Amino acid sequence: MTFWKFFFKDKKSSQLNKIDHISIQRIGKENLYLSTCKQVNLEELEQLCDSVGWVRRPLRKVKFALENSFLIVSIFNIKENNKRLVGFARVTSDGSFNATVWDVVIHPDFQGKGLGKLLMNEIIQELRKYDISTITLFADPEVVKFYKQIGFMVDPDEVKGMFWYPT
Protein backbone atom coordinates (compact mmCIF):
# COMPACT_ATOMS: atom_id res chain seq x y z
CA MET A 1 0.00 0.00 0.00
CA THR A 2 3.02 2.20 0.29
CA PHE A 3 2.63 3.86 -3.07
CA TRP A 4 -1.12 4.42 -2.79
CA LYS A 5 -0.55 6.16 0.51
CA PHE A 6 2.06 8.23 -1.28
CA PHE A 7 -0.45 9.35 -3.87
CA PHE A 8 -3.41 9.97 -1.60
CA LYS A 9 -1.96 11.50 1.54
CA ASP A 10 -3.36 14.94 2.43
CA LYS A 11 -1.73 17.81 0.63
CA LYS A 12 -1.17 21.20 2.22
CA SER A 13 -0.58 23.62 -0.61
CA SER A 14 -0.83 27.38 -0.75
CA GLN A 15 -0.69 27.24 -4.54
CA LEU A 16 -4.45 27.65 -4.90
CA ASN A 17 -4.21 28.57 -8.54
CA LYS A 18 -1.97 25.69 -9.40
CA ILE A 19 -2.90 22.35 -10.91
CA ASP A 20 -2.77 20.13 -7.83
CA HIS A 21 -5.32 17.41 -8.51
CA ILE A 22 -4.22 13.81 -8.48
CA SER A 23 -4.46 11.81 -11.68
CA ILE A 24 -2.93 8.37 -12.11
CA GLN A 25 -3.02 6.42 -15.36
CA ARG A 26 -1.38 3.12 -16.17
CA ILE A 27 0.81 3.20 -19.25
CA GLY A 28 0.06 0.32 -21.61
CA LYS A 29 0.46 -3.11 -20.07
CA GLU A 30 3.70 -2.25 -18.28
CA ASN A 31 3.97 -1.52 -14.56
CA LEU A 32 4.36 2.15 -15.34
CA TYR A 33 2.09 4.84 -13.92
CA LEU A 34 1.84 8.52 -14.77
CA SER A 35 0.84 11.03 -12.08
CA THR A 36 0.25 14.79 -11.86
CA CYS A 37 0.37 14.71 -8.05
CA LYS A 38 2.47 17.61 -6.75
CA GLN A 39 3.71 15.56 -3.80
CA VAL A 40 7.15 14.45 -4.97
CA ASN A 41 9.69 12.65 -2.80
CA LEU A 42 12.73 14.96 -2.96
CA GLU A 43 15.27 12.19 -2.39
CA GLU A 44 13.73 10.02 -5.15
CA LEU A 45 13.79 13.03 -7.49
CA GLU A 46 17.44 13.75 -6.74
CA GLN A 47 18.30 10.06 -7.33
CA LEU A 48 16.53 10.27 -10.71
CA CYS A 49 18.53 13.41 -11.56
CA ASP A 50 21.72 11.65 -10.42
CA SER A 51 20.95 8.84 -12.89
CA VAL A 52 21.31 11.26 -15.81
CA GLY A 53 24.32 13.00 -14.30
CA TRP A 54 22.72 16.28 -13.23
CA VAL A 55 24.48 18.31 -10.57
CA ARG A 56 22.92 17.94 -7.09
CA ARG A 57 20.85 20.92 -5.96
CA PRO A 58 20.04 22.09 -2.41
CA LEU A 59 16.89 20.16 -1.35
CA ARG A 60 15.47 23.32 0.24
CA LYS A 61 15.61 25.06 -3.15
CA VAL A 62 14.23 22.02 -4.98
CA LYS A 63 11.30 21.85 -2.51
CA PHE A 64 10.51 25.56 -3.04
CA ALA A 65 10.77 25.16 -6.83
CA LEU A 66 8.29 22.25 -6.76
CA GLU A 67 5.88 24.25 -4.57
CA ASN A 68 6.03 27.10 -7.08
CA SER A 69 5.68 24.91 -10.16
CA PHE A 70 2.32 25.11 -11.91
CA LEU A 71 2.35 21.50 -13.02
CA ILE A 72 4.42 18.45 -12.12
CA VAL A 73 4.24 15.17 -14.03
CA SER A 74 5.90 12.00 -12.73
CA ILE A 75 6.21 8.47 -14.10
CA PHE A 76 6.60 5.58 -11.67
CA ASN A 77 7.61 1.98 -12.21
CA ILE A 78 5.73 -0.25 -9.77
CA LYS A 79 7.00 -3.74 -8.88
CA GLU A 80 5.17 -5.61 -6.13
CA ASN A 81 4.83 -2.94 -3.46
CA ASN A 82 7.83 -0.89 -4.56
CA LYS A 83 7.43 2.29 -6.56
CA ARG A 84 10.36 3.86 -8.37
CA LEU A 85 10.37 7.36 -9.88
CA VAL A 86 11.60 6.89 -13.46
CA GLY A 87 10.34 10.02 -15.21
CA PHE A 88 9.74 13.63 -14.23
CA ALA A 89 9.03 17.08 -15.63
CA ARG A 90 7.68 20.32 -14.19
CA VAL A 91 6.20 23.52 -15.57
CA THR A 92 6.16 27.17 -14.52
CA SER A 93 3.23 29.17 -15.84
CA ASP A 94 0.97 32.18 -15.39
CA GLY A 95 -1.90 29.72 -15.68
CA SER A 96 -3.36 31.78 -18.48
CA PHE A 97 -1.18 32.52 -21.53
CA ASN A 98 2.34 31.11 -21.18
CA ALA A 99 4.07 28.08 -19.72
CA THR A 100 7.69 26.91 -19.61
CA VAL A 101 8.75 23.28 -19.17
CA TRP A 102 11.78 22.51 -16.97
CA ASP A 103 13.69 19.49 -15.65
CA VAL A 104 12.49 16.86 -18.13
CA VAL A 105 14.20 13.61 -17.14
CA ILE A 106 13.72 9.90 -17.90
CA HIS A 107 15.84 7.28 -16.09
CA PRO A 108 18.37 5.71 -18.51
CA ASP A 109 16.90 2.22 -17.80
CA PHE A 110 13.56 3.47 -19.17
CA GLN A 111 14.70 5.62 -22.09
CA GLY A 112 13.78 4.60 -25.64
CA LYS A 113 10.31 3.43 -24.53
CA GLY A 114 8.44 6.59 -25.55
CA LEU A 115 8.08 7.80 -21.94
CA GLY A 116 9.51 11.25 -22.73
CA LYS A 117 6.93 11.76 -25.46
CA LEU A 118 4.20 10.51 -23.12
CA LEU A 119 5.36 12.92 -20.40
CA MET A 120 5.36 15.88 -22.78
CA ASN A 121 1.99 15.00 -24.28
CA GLU A 122 0.51 14.83 -20.76
CA ILE A 123 1.95 18.29 -20.03
CA ILE A 124 0.47 19.74 -23.23
CA GLN A 125 -2.91 18.11 -22.48
CA GLU A 126 -2.98 19.48 -18.89
CA LEU A 127 -1.96 23.01 -19.96
CA ARG A 128 -4.55 23.05 -22.73
CA LYS A 129 -7.23 22.51 -20.05
CA TYR A 130 -6.25 26.02 -18.89
CA ASP A 131 -6.37 27.32 -22.48
CA ILE A 132 -2.63 28.06 -22.23
CA SER A 133 -1.57 28.56 -25.84
CA THR A 134 2.16 29.27 -25.62
CA ILE A 135 4.16 26.35 -24.21
CA THR A 136 7.89 26.98 -24.20
CA LEU A 137 11.10 25.24 -23.16
CA PHE A 138 14.84 25.54 -23.55
CA ALA A 139 16.34 22.48 -25.24
CA ASP A 140 19.92 21.25 -25.24
CA PRO A 141 21.17 20.54 -28.79
CA GLU A 142 20.85 16.76 -28.40
CA VAL A 143 17.12 16.89 -27.57
CA VAL A 144 15.97 19.55 -30.07
CA LYS A 145 15.03 16.79 -32.56
CA PHE A 146 12.96 15.00 -29.87
CA TYR A 147 10.94 18.13 -29.08
CA LYS A 148 10.45 18.85 -32.79
CA GLN A 149 8.85 15.41 -33.13
CA ILE A 150 6.35 16.40 -30.42
CA GLY A 151 5.51 19.61 -32.29
CA PHE A 152 7.80 22.20 -30.71
CA MET A 153 9.41 24.75 -33.03
CA VAL A 154 12.83 26.43 -32.81
CA ASP A 155 12.81 30.24 -33.03
CA PRO A 156 9.39 30.65 -34.75
CA ASP A 157 9.18 34.07 -36.47
CA GLU A 158 12.84 34.53 -35.44
CA VAL A 159 11.84 34.83 -31.77
CA LYS A 160 15.00 34.04 -29.83
CA GLY A 161 15.34 32.33 -26.45
CA MET A 162 17.66 34.44 -24.32
CA PHE A 163 19.40 33.77 -21.00
CA TRP A 164 20.83 35.90 -18.24
CA TYR A 165 23.24 34.32 -15.75
CA PRO A 166 24.97 36.01 -12.80
CA THR A 167 28.58 36.87 -13.65
What are the residue numbers of the active site? 147
Which CB atom, from 39 or from 77, has the smaller least distance to its own copies?
39
Q: Does 145 bind its own copies (CB under 8 A)?
A: no
Q: Does 147 bind its own copies (CB under 8 A)?
A: yes
The residue within the footprint of its own copies, chosen from 57, 78, 111, 117 (CB under 8 A), is 57
Closest contact distance (angstroms) between CB of 99 and its own copies is 8
Q: In sequence order, what are the residues at sequence separation of 6 or more whose Cβ sits closer than 8 angstroms to the Cβ of residue 46?
A: 56, 57, 59, 62
Q: Does 27 bind its own copies (CB under 8 A)?
A: no
Q: Does 61 bind its own copies (CB under 8 A)?
A: yes
With CB under 8 A as the rule, give the number of residues binding its own copies: 58
Site for its own copies, residues 64 to 123, rule: CB under 8 A: 64-70, 90, 92-100, 102
Asked if 107 and 17 touch (Cβ cutoff 8 Å), the reply is: no
The DSSP result for 10-23, as a single string, is ----S-TTS-----
Amino acid present at 93: S
Closest contact distance (angstroms) between CB of 32 and its own copies is 24
Asked if 132 and 124 touch (Cβ cutoff 8 Å), the reply is: no
Q: In sequence order, what are the residues at sequence separation of 6 or more whose Cβ sits closer than 8 angstroms to the Cβ of residue 74?
A: 34, 35, 36, 37, 40, 85, 87, 88
**Nearest residue to 117 (alpha-carbon basis) of 27, 19, 54:** 27
Binding site for its own copies (CB under 8 A): 14-17, 57, 61-62, 64-70, 90, 92-100, 102, 124, 128, 131, 133-141, 144, 147-148, 150-167
